Amino acid sequence: MLKQVAEGVLVHESGFLQSNAVVVRGQAGVLLIDPGIQGAEMACLANDLDVLGQSVVAGFSTHPHWDHLLWDPRLGTAPRYGTARCAASVREQQAVPDWKAREAEELPPEIADDVPLDLLGQISGLPAGATRIPWDGPHVRILEHQAHAPGHAALLIEERRVLVAGDMLSDVLIPMLDLSATDPIEDYLGALRLFEGAADDVDVMVPGHGSIGGSEELRARIDLDRAYVDAVRDGDVVTDPRIGPSAREGWDWVTGVHDWQLQQLSR
């Protein structure tokens, strides 16, 4: 079911990891950001768009992780984009001859039957440093940064004052660092400063996973994520509502991700 979060901006929430697909209405159709996870959900989304008399005219993946790169044939054949770095990372992942089989093996077993991998990652990289999505609709500013994954981009739909955060600023997931980067901690802090700089232009924030929030919530999540990253950097005890006994029901595994992340950083 599509839920309107601002004029012409709708969100489709997936059952898997509370993932949010974002639809932005343009002149002749919609921009679809991170379409979703399971085939049945994307079919439902395609159907909802049909009912609205809308077709997809452009797609965008916020970053090169499988759960943000999926597509279903029922969504059509519009051009799909990502940042230049994101597209390069996808090409690298798919340069391995049996990449699709490997990807299939790593899918969470409870949903693996219904994750369509055929069109995974078929995106075109925008020119390096591009700041706008090329499409006929409200201006969408690309806020590219180096945190969480190579070429990660948040999108600011300026006229609608909506920030699509990708895998940043979640209320259920802790900051998940890009451990392949040279300085994942400083990268993450830099990304949070970028969000802080845009916060005055935002009324609604949509994270890739978790709850949608308003402008106060945006600032609160920036502070919470910064406190987490600072504590990890300084080797302090991390107290964060998303891990340990205060983790939300069904999300206790995030504590394991935190422990693993600390281990990796100390190597």
Looking at this protein, which amino acid is placed at residue 140?
A: V
Q: How far is the CB of 167 from Zn ion (least distance, A)?
A: 4
Cα–Cα distance, 163 to 138 (Å, whole number): 13
Q: How far is the CB of 71 from Zn ion (least distance, A)?
A: 16
Q: Which residues 46-65 are close enough to bind Zn ion by CB under 5 A? A: 65
Judged by CB, which is closer to Zn ion: 12, or 65?
65
Does 152 sit near Zn ion (CB under 5 A)?
A: no
Binding mask 90-129 for Zn ion (x = CB under 5 A): ----------------------------------------
Does 34 sit near Zn ion (CB under 5 A)?
A: no
Contact of 96 with 102, CB cutoff 8 Å: yes
Residue with the two structure tokens 């090329």: 134
Q: How far is the CB of 216 from Zn ion (least distance, A)?
A: 25
Judged by CB, which is closer to Zn ion: 167, or 225?
167
Cα–Cα distance, 242 to 221 (Å, whole number): 11
Say what angle helices 184-198 and 215-234 make with each other, to 10 degrees: 160
Cα–Cα distance, 154 to 206 (Å, whole number): 10
**Binding residues for Zn ion, how many (CB under 5 A)?**
2
Report which residue's Cβ sits closest to Zn ion.
65
Say what angle helices 253-265 and 215-234 make with each other, to 10 degrees: 50
Q: Within 10 A of 198 (CB to CB), how many other CB atoms are there? A: 16
Which pair of structure tokens corresponds to residue 39? Answer: 């085939």
Q: Which residues 208-267 are close enough to bind Zn ion by CB under 5 A? A: none
Taking CB under 5 A as the binding criterion, the range among 18-26, 166-174, 192-200, 233-241 that sits at the site for Zn ion is 166-174
Judged by CB, which is closer to Zn ion: 57, or 165?
165
Across the chain, how many H-helices and E-strands are there? 6, 12
Judged by CB, which is closer to Zn ion: 138, or 151?
151
Cα–Cα distance, 141 to 164 (Å, whole number): 10
| Binds Zn ion by CB under 5 A, chosen from 167, 171, 178, 225 | 167
Residues 6+ apart with CB under 8 A from 132: 139, 140, 141, 142
Q: How far is the CB of 173 from Zn ion (least distance, A)?
A: 9
Q: How far is the CB of 166 from Zn ion (least distance, A)?
A: 7
Q: How far is the CB of 37 from Zn ion (least distance, A)?
A: 12
Contact positions vs Zn ion (CB under 5 A): 65, 167
